[in-house]
Chains A and B, each alone.
Chain A
Amino acid sequence: MTNNATNIEAEIVELLAHRIPAGIHVSAQTQIVGGLGLDSVAILDFIMDVEDRFDISIPLDRVAEVQTIAELSRAIEALRRTAN
């Protein structure tokens, strides 16, 4: 894993801290649907936080393709490259 990916994952975990119920441990392999204790609307609200943190747009069809935190991290990396 690249340092960049590790940093992105760490930022995602930091963003999640404000949203997920206490006691849920988040790792790169955590499933976004089902693993975070968030309902579907709360997940989309979290994605808006991610968009603002990384200054990117993540269209909803792209969100649907992403299953784990690691996959979200890779999607963010790819979208940042495209944006630049």
Chain B
Amino acid sequence: MSLFSKFDDMRAIIDSLVASGRNPFDMRFERILSATEALLEGRPCLLFGTNNYLGLTFDATCIEATVRAVHEGGTGTTGSRIANGTYCDHALLERRIAEFYGKRSAMIFTTGYQANLGLISTLAGREDHLLIDADSHASIYDACKLSAAQVIRFRHNDPEDLAHRLRRLKGRPGSRIIVTEGIFSMLGDSAPLREIAAVKREMGATLIVDEAHSLGTRGKNGRGVCEDAGIESDVDFVVGTFSKSLGAIGGFAVSDLPDFDLLRIVCRPYMFTASLPPAVVGSVTAALTRISTDKSLSARVLSHSGRLYSALAQAGFEVGPEPNPIVALKMTDKETAVRFWNRLIDRGVYANLALPPATPASLSLIRCSISAAHTEAQIDRAISIMVAVGRELRVLDPRPAKTPVHLTRSLPI
């Protein structure tokens, strides 16, 4: 038995995917033409699977800030935040993020993955209990593995179930830390945060909300689903990423708790990695200013999302439960999802292929993400191609649907 034989199942999956067309884990864009188009296999391709929600990757002010930062600060910091890797611009970005959220403190991490890994694993000690939504992102699950705390899953987006599981812990020592997300990355559904915050208050728990997909896309000021739900003061920690709406890479956590800065000297995923390079700090700082001053970006991405979602639902696709910048189409099985994804690329649309176990309820999905930088013509072209492929592969009835079908996790697979 070889060292790699434990991955034989994965090898078989990849072989089968490649035999059906392309390897979704090894797509290579020859050239990125804009926030919404790339050259793929020698042809222009519409990008509907990049999480570039506000389209800021080619924003002129962000690019200028990046270039200036490289000239002034060099290509990398070559050290961690607790050694030589904190420049004044890192501290400035942290202040700007804290101000953006109206919170006392912010910490920035080198990736969004590390933000969850660091915050959750450090806060939750041996006697504590982490209660995580069952559909949590891999970074939350990995944080749980790194933590010494007891980890309990609660049923997805179910505050009653959360309360029930918290009650089971009655009498046991330790803090209760609830972890959920603003918008979930696969189906694009948002958490019932008002109800979850009520459970948190009733049970005296701590609440962490990951707004990776909702920063800049939800809330009057772009502060996510917490802002939409009016529960920002109930949230002890908001976690987020720079790699989606802010168009770069990195992560952050914000909090009002006075001891928050202690985490800087106990949080290993923050301490033992190089800090973000000046170029990224520069572009993210500029991007944060852009989203704070230009509300049209979030309005545009939500309007586009509604356009795509409604048209696909109307055409008869089973879509996620609400229109958000992630729109997921349910396929009947894995094989159909793989064929659908390949046919979309053949016809010039790149979306994400999402298969179990990376998906909730073992669903096979085509996952689209929408950008403020898309034009209405691009959205309409993507709709027309998706509908044509849907009819070709018999995912859609050849006759147009009269009533939209909304996908929920409880649907039979």
**Chain B residues with CB under 8 A of A48:** 134, 153, 155
Q: How far is the CA of A55 from the CA of B164 in the complex (A)?
A: 10
Query: Per DSSP, are chain B's interface residues mostly helix, strand or loop, or mixed?
Result: mixed
Tell me if A65 counts as interface (CB < 8 A to partner B): no
| Among A1-9, A34-42, A68-76, the stretch in contact with B | A34-42
Find out whether the CB atom of B150 lies under 8 angstroms from the CB atom of A59.
yes
Find out whether the CB atom of A44 lies under 8 angstroms from the CB atom of B153.
yes
Q: How many residues of B contact A (CB 8 A)?
A: 17
Tell me if A78 counts as interface (CB < 8 A to partner B): no
Tell me if B362 counts as interface (CB < 8 A to partner A): yes
Tell me if A57 counts as interface (CB < 8 A to partner B): yes
Tell me if B152 counts as interface (CB < 8 A to partner A): yes
Find out whether the CB atom of B153 lies under 8 angstroms from the CB atom of A60.
yes
Tell me if A66 counts as interface (CB < 8 A to partner B): no
> Most chain-A Cβ atoms within 10 A of its Cβ — which of B153, B169, B357?
B153
Q: Among the listed A39, A40, A45, which residue makes an inter-chain contact with B134, where contact means beta carbons less than 8 Å apart? A: A45
Q: How far is the CA of A39 from the CA of B355 in the complex (A)?
A: 11
Find out whether the CB atom of A61 lies under 8 angstroms from the CB atom of B356.
no
Find out whether the CB atom of A55 lies under 8 angstroms from the CB atom of B134.
no
Q: Among the listed A40, A42, A56, A61, which residue makes an inter-chain contact with B151, where contact means beta carbons less than 8 Å apart? A: A61
Q: How far is the CA of A55 from the CA of B153 in the complex (A)?
A: 14
Q: Nearest Cβ in chain B — how far from A82, in angstroms? A: 10
Find out whether the CB atom of B168 lies under 8 angstroms from the CB atom of A57.
yes
Q: Nearest Cβ in chain B — how far from A57, in angstroms? A: 5
**Chain A residues with CB under 8 A of B165:** 51, 57
Q: For residues 168 through 212 of chain B, which have their beta carbon under 8 Å from a beta carbon of chain A?
A: 168-169
What are 13 inter-chain pairs, A to B, with CB distance below 8 A?
A39-B356, A39-B357, A41-B357, A41-B359, A42-B356, A45-B361, A48-B134, A51-B152, A57-B165, A57-B169, A59-B151, A61-B150, A83-B168
